[in-house]
Structure formats: C-alpha cells, structure tokens
A and B are shown apart, each in its own frame.
Chain A
Amino acid sequence: MAWFRRNREAKRPKGPLSLRRTFVTPEGVDLQIELGGAGVRAAAFMIDAFAMLILLIIATIVIALLFVASKETSLAILWLIGFFVLRNGWFTLFEMGGRGATPGKRVMGLRVVARDGARLTGGAVITRNAMREIEVFLPLSFLAAQSAQGLADSFLTIFALCWSGIFLFFPLFNRDRLRIGDLLAGTWVVRTVRGELGSDLAVPIERERRVFSEAALGLYGVYELQTLEEVLRSGREDAIATVAATIRRKAGLADDPDDREFLSDYYAALCARLERGLMVGRRRADKFG
C-alpha cells in the first residue's frame, strides 16, 4: 500500500496548482497567489496590441482628415508625439495606474505586482516595458524596414523570427513565467480572481439530518471531503448520483431516494467528524491516512 500512497502524493501538486506561489504579507500570512499562465498573458497582450492598432488607425485617419481640411503641417507633430506616446506609454501608463494592469490584462484578470510584495514603482514598470521594445518591437520594425527597402531576404527573416522566438517563449522556460522585462524589473504577473463565498454546505437545516455510523464516516479523509464538496457545489446530477452510490456501497448503507440530500447530510456529518479530529490534533489527510 505504501508505494501506492507515495505515487498519489507525488501526483497531486502538479497540474493547475503549479502556478501557485508563496507570498508572505508583512503580517506573516502566506497568501498563496496564483501566477498568470503563458496563454492568458499572450491573450492579454494580443488584446492590447489590437487596441493600440485600432487607436492608431483611428487617430491617423482623424489627423489625415484634419490635415486635408486645414493644410496645417504642424498636425504631423501631433501624430509623431501621439505615436511615440502610444507605443511607449500604453503599457507603462496603464500599469503605473492604480490597477497595475493594461486594459488587456484587466480583461484577462491579471495584474502586475512587485515580486517582493512591495509597492510597484515607476522604475520597475518602465523597465519591464522598455524591454518589450527589444522583445517585440525591435524585430518587428527591423523586418518592416528591411522589407520596405526590399532587403528582407530569408536569412534576415529567419534571424528576426529566432530573435523574437527566444524572447517570446522565454516565459515558458522559467517556472515563474517571467518575461525578460519581468526578470529585470523584479515583477511578476498574477491572477486577480474575484471569487464568491459559496454557500455553507454544513449549515443547520430544518429537516432532520441522516445519522451515519462511525464506520461509515471513518471511510474518508479531508481530501475526499473536499472532493465531495466540489461535487456538491458543481450541482451535476450524474456526478452526485455516482458518488452517492459509491459511498452507500462502501459504507454498506441502504438505498436512498434523494441522492443530493443524502450526500449533503453525509458531507455535514463527515465534516463535523473530521473537524473534531482536527481539534485534538488528528488531521486525516485522505482515505489512506
């Protein structure tokens, strides 16, 4: 049995849990933040890039129309400065704001945070976004300039793609999903999840709860309890029926017409039992414990 248990232990921290990080507040509590995954961050960047492009196109059209109307050459200044601010300011200014996120990041539920948990400084934001210049804009503008002159031979194209590739995939090669910019700025991108407090499954209710024997409750530990919680909260009838049938079979209980009520009673009873165990220092991790 021992080898089996070890196997299960080894498996559990993998999967979606691997982006969780220790993050201790000054009060000494570990908040266990979750980092933004590569896909989510790429999506956020695409949203931002798209928004910038749209904004650039609209502004260019407006300025061109104004120019046609007024013949004012100084409108070119507006465009030049506007382009500069858009290119260098979009990410920096949004991330310096209170939300620590560009519109794209907000949509995807991300924010930029200093890795040491301190205040996000302007210097850090400038660093992480100045690096974007060489990660994204340099190979792009290089390619654009070369192809404008008809010089973009395949070697240069391959070189530019490799260059971008190294930087673009860099977040996949380190466990904290850091861009070069994050690395230098001492920042990382975390998920900002807004969860609701689920209803209390073990709350006292009007009707009489089923009563279970010690043997029936002794089958499972905390891990199974929390899986059961997930099943109950998911509300999927087929899952509830399957789990209820399994528990009844294992505990040798009689059939019950209402699976949901049966499970929620079992949950409440198991929860109470395990909590009593906790109080006296007996934490039962799972059914093998």
Chain B
Amino acid sequence: MATSALSPAQPPAQPPAQPMLVNASRFRAAHAAEWERLERLVTRIEKRSIKALGDDDLLALPLLYRSALSSLSVARETSLDRSLVVYLEQLCTRAYFQLYGVPTLALSQLRRFFVHGWPAAMQALWRETLASFLLTVAAGIVGYVLVRGDPSWFFGIVGDGLAQGRDPSASAETLRQTLYGKHSDMLATFAAYLFTHNAQIAIFAFALGFAFAVPTVLLIVYNGLMLGAFMAVFVPKGLGYNFTGWIMIHGTTELFAIIIAGAAGFRIGTAIAFPGRQSRSDSAVQAGRTGATAMGGAVVMLAIAGLLEGIGRQIVLDDLSRYGIGLTMLVAWLLYFYLPRSRNGVVQA
C-alpha cells in the first residue's frame, strides 16, 4: 500500500471522478435547512421581538436550537471545516441569548418588582436599613446639639443656598411663614426638581457604596446633620411641633428612601470589604442586585415624596393632617416592606 500510494497514477479505492465526498459536506447537506430556518427565526426575533413569530415557528424554535447545538458538538468533533464550526457557534450563541438571556417582558418584570422583588430586597437589607436609620438619628442629634450650642455651626452644615433665610437669626414669624406660606405657581416644578435632585443623590449613595461604603456613610451623616440643624433653628422659636409636621408629610417617605439608598450602599460596601465565605465577586454580585432593587424602590418612593412635598404640603396646611398623612405613609411603607409573605406574594399569618 505504501509503495503504490507514492505514485500519483494509482488512484485510491474510490471511483476517481468524485473521490472526496467528505463528512463535512454530507453533514452540511443533511442539516443546512434546519440551520437556515433557525437563523431566519433568530434574525426575525432580533429585528423585532419574539412576538414576530407564529405558533409553528415558536414551537419549532427550541427544537431547532437543540439540533443546532448538537450539530455544533458533532461538527467540533468530526469536521475540519472551520467556517462550519464558526458559523454554528455564532448561530447557537445568538439563539441561546434569544431563548435564555432575554429579560422577561417589562410589564411582568414591573409586577414582579412590586409584588416580590422590592419587599424581598428590603427584608434582606433590614440590618443595613437599621444601621442607616440609627446613623441618621445620631447625626441629627449631633447636628441639633451643635447648632443649639453655637448657632454659627448652622452655616457650616447647611449653607446659604438651602437655608433660604431659615437660619438661627430669623424671627419666629419669618420661620412660621416658611412652614405655611404658599409658593403656589412654581409648586409642581418644585416637586419635580426635588424628585430629580433627591433621586440622583439616592443613586449616588448606592453607587458610592462601592468605595467600602465610606462616602455613603458621609452622605447619610450629612443628611442627618442638616435635619438636626434645621430642628435647632425651629425648636427654640417654639415651632418644633409645626416644623415636625412640615417635615413629616413628605419626610417619612423621603427620609426613609434616603435611608434605604444608604442601606443599599452599605450592603455593597460591606459585601466587598467582608465577603465572608463567598468569593469577593460572588458576594459583590449578590449585594449589587439586592441593593439595586432596593435603590430602584427608593427612587419610586422619592417620586411619591416629591408629589407629597410639592403639592400635598402646599395644600395641606393643618398640622394634624400633615402628621396624619406622614404617619399613614410610614405605616404603609413598613407594612408593605416587612409584613411576612410567601414567595409568590401571598401574605401569611
């Protein structure tokens, strides 16, 4: 055999006209139609959406995908045609992401978020939320004590832009005016401004958690200090009760939201600093997703707080109603977040 093979004149055993029908060619001929159909379907989904497929195609899609996958396995083992293997790899990858990787529809995602995702994230974050809350309270007390001790601290903490005349030197009457006065025409615009501003802060508080939560702590502390400083301006003038009502109507929602954003940041920071038994990246991923869910919820809360502040506070001038609305919101949030429930959202006793 070896000697005869050396001579080109002597052909191998196969008929000389078509001696080299290789495996890859037969394989292509047998399956090309399926691959082409899969490719057409995937292209159509990529161009529009899964809804662009009819029932037949929808049923065929997973089957075609599996057969393309097995084609890929076979081709890798038996075929030397690189373009075939590369083509099948790309086709299977595209099909995979259309079948497994696509997020569920926006509406059902939204429903899941409100029914399950958000409360679950909040329950997972209860320790961080508590820490964030205590930090706010502590900073508030510090701010209060500082400004009561030395009113010049106020300008160090709050700054002129935000104070708008509400500083320790203002008279009781001016201060009362700020609590009940009307800023009627710009009211809704003001609400929108507050919302976008606070929401941006919340997103920062979450994202900055990445730096081992240090900037988030600073943000939360600063928020508490400001609250305490304002308190220290109003309380000595006998307006403590009124000011609390003014804050309460939107504050139970807004401050809660900022505390949550802080908690989300803490979660990320601590997950990176102290990953525990998990790998650092696994722990970060888990914390990132839980935190992001809670932070997304905080943005929703801030939108509600913006409405309450911009509109509710200007319309509701009665202290008792302000307290009522604020406390109702607080209780509603607490019930929504922490009421025990099963996975599918049914409340359990």
Contact = CB atoms under 8 A, between A and B. Distances in A.
B22 A202 contact: yes
A184 interface: yes
Interface string A178-216: 001001111000101111111011111000110111111
Contact of B193 (A80, A222, A269): A80
Interface stretch (A9-17, A49-57, A81-89): A81-89
Contact count band on B? 35 or more
A96 B50 CA distance: 15
Interface stretch (A36-44, A124-132, A236-244): A124-132
A117 interface: yes
Contact of A209 (B20, B97, B295): B20
Interface residues of A, number: 82
Interface string B181-217: 0000110110111011001100110111010000000
A74 interface: yes
A118 interface: yes
A278 interface: yes
Contact of A183 (B78, B199, B284, B296): B284
A204 to B, nearest CB: 5
A123 B188 contact: no
Nearest to B208: A134
A268 interface: yes
Q: Which of A114, A127, A222 has the most CB of B within 10 A?
A: A127
Given A81-B192, A211-B19, A127 B83 contact: no
B89 interface: yes
A1 interface: no
Contacts of B333: none
B178 interface: no
Contact of B292 (A29, A119, A127, A192): A127
Majority SS at the chain B contact face: helix
A143 interface: no
Interface stretch (B1-9, B129-137, B234-242): B1-9
B86 interface: yes
A103 B150 CA distance: 55
Contacts of A115: 285
A27 B72 CA distance: 12
29 contacts: A25-B96, A29-B70, A32-B89, A33-B93, A73-B186, A76-B193, A80-B193, A80-B195, A88-B200, A118-B101, A119-B104, A122-B117, A123-B117, A127-B292, A183-B285, A186-B288, A192-B94, A195-B86, A198-B83, A202-B20, A203-B25, A204-B18, A204-B21, A204-B25, A208-B17, A211-B8, A211-B11, A215-B6, A233-B83
Kindly list the 10 A-B residue pairs having the minimum CB-CB distance in the complex, ordered from nearest.
Answer: A184-B288, A186-B285, A214-B5, A198-B83, A127-B292, A123-B289, A272-B20, A126-B292, A84-B196, A77-B192
